[in-house]
Structure 1
Amino acid sequence: MSEQKNLSRIAGSSLADGLKQTLEKEIASGALEPGKRLDEKEIAARFDVSRTPVREAFRLLAADGLVDLNGRQGVMVRALTVNSLLEMFQVMAELEGLCARLAARRITPEQLVRLRQLHQQMADHGESISPAAFYELNLQFHEAIYAIARNAFLEEETRALRNRVGVYRRRVTFHPGRVSKTLAEHGAIVDAIAKNDADAAHDAMRKHLTLLGDDLVDFIAGFS
């Protein structure tokens, strides 16, 4: 069955917007890996659309830094250099740190219950959960904090950068011992937010995202 109907359910002002969002998710998840060539004709057939919205979707993805338009060589999913990754993770740490800071100031009792539930779901599974499943729960945890911060612009910018580094960030989850580290780091974030300690929440989230020392070395080696 064609995937075109799925596009119609994606929020957006046009078919190209919906197609862009779908491809963006596939890039962030690693389904479309860095360096992969995107074939315009193939994607048009896959979604049962003309090539015009596909070309527009490629243009939108390029504007967001997710693909490179290489003329006759075609469209390629952008592969980030080590230096670019380090710079993006530095910015990501600050953006998510600000989300956590605002969340600590603005969280409601109901939102705190939900945040604790998400953390507990991950803790209940521990190392027994598959990396892919754990990553999805991890994504929900961070998305919850974006929403609790109640700053639409910050949420939009944080999510946009997260999508650019998503496939690389996902790989970190696959490294041995990373699940237990993440649980401990998430616990510190939840505790700080629950105490409405904005500084501690910011610092805990920033530490979680910084990827220093052995974790950073393992992360880069695991993707190279």
Structure 2
Amino acid sequence: MACKNGVMKISGQLRDLIEEQIATGELAPGSTLDEATLVERHGVSRTPVREALIQLSAEGLIELRPRRGAVVAAIGPARLIEMFEVMSELEAMCGRLAARRMTDKERAELVRAHQACEQARSDSDPEAYYLCNERFHFALYEGSHNGFLNEQAQSLNRRLRPYRRLQLRVRNRMNTSFAEHDAIVRAVLAGDAEAAANTLRAHVVVQGERFGDLLASLAELAPAAS
């Protein structure tokens, strides 16, 4: 049992590392993940490497292809828009429930995450802002007090991480995002469930100008994948 737990711990750490490399663009869509290379690079056996790849495949971040091994998933624009549409509705539901169910302690954590976003924005640091932004959204997922909804929101959030991260590089997006966060916080603290849902939906959905920005982000990833 101890051996099995050790393998699971290593595979989890490796999964988190590869997930982060995909999110930051270090591993671009189309990149190949070779088992032997991962074993040598990280000094582990094949078992945790295979387990990590299976987990990443289940999250939709990579594809396991016969005779080609693992490849970082490439999501087309149409599919990506569909995923953002679903994400916006999941987050709207989280916001609606959080406005009704969050405890005082959870509201305080949401405010702290919002303040951390403000500091990152003031520092003009998109990477720091992304991490604080993720903390902000996860606080809303937890605050929904719906375990299944929380799991689904976190899962889709992970799949969209590379693209949500790239969007923050668009000019003035951090300022816009922070202003939207502010409206979300005010709605949640006021217990206004519908306002919280509507502001979160508008914050996440990709349409209009954001669609063009997303296409530009995909074009930025494309050269590395070729």
TM over 0.5: yes
Report the CA distance between 1:106 and its aligned residue.
0.9
Q: Tell me whether 1:181 sits opposite 2:176 in the alignment.
A: yes
Report the CA distance between 1:30 and its aligned residue.
3.1
**Which segments of 5 or more consecutive residues in structure 1 lack a partner in the other structure?**
1-6
**Which segments of 5 or more consecutive residues in structure 2 lack a partner in the other structure?**
220-226
Indicate the residue corresponding to 2:63 in structure 1: 68
- SS of aligned partner of 2:71: strand
Deviating more after overlay: 176-185 vs 70-79: 70-79
Question: What are the within-5 Å matches in structure 2 for residues 65-214 of structure 1?
Answer: 65-214=60-209
**Residues 20 and 52 (structure 1 numbering): CA distance in 2 closer, same or farther, change over 3 Å?**
same
Q: Which amino acid aligns with 2:132?
A: L
Report the CA distance between 1:149 and its aligned residue.
1.3
Q: Which amino acid aligns with 2:143?
A: I
- SS of aligned partner of 2:63: strand
1:34-67 superposed Cα distances (whole Å, 9 cap, x missing partner): 2211121121123322113322322232232211
Deviating more after overlay: 210-219 vs 85-94: 210-219
Indicate the residue corresponding to 2:32 in structure 1: 37
Deviating more after overlay: 50-59 vs 173-182: 50-59
1:55-92 superposed Cα distances (whole Å, 9 cap, x missing partner): 23222322322111222223110010001100000000
- SS of aligned partner of 1:89: helix
Identity over the aligned pairs, expressed in percent?
A: 39
Give the Cα separation in 2 of the matches to 1:31 and 1:114.
31
**Pairwise CA RMSD of aligned residues?**
2.1
Q: Which amino acid aligns with 1:33?
A: A
Report the CA distance between 1:131 and its aligned residue.
0.9
Cα contact 1:172–1:178 (8 A) shared by 2: yes
Give the Cα separation in 2 of the matches to 1:177 and 1:77.
29
Q: Which amino acid aligns with 2:163?
A: Y
**Residues 155 and 26 (structure 1 numbering): CA distance in 2 closer, same or farther, change over 3 Å?**
farther
Give the Cα separation in 2 of the matches to 1:42 and 1:164.
24
Q: State the TM-score, normalizing by the size of structure 1.
A: 0.87
Indicate the residue corresponding to 1:4 in structure 2: none
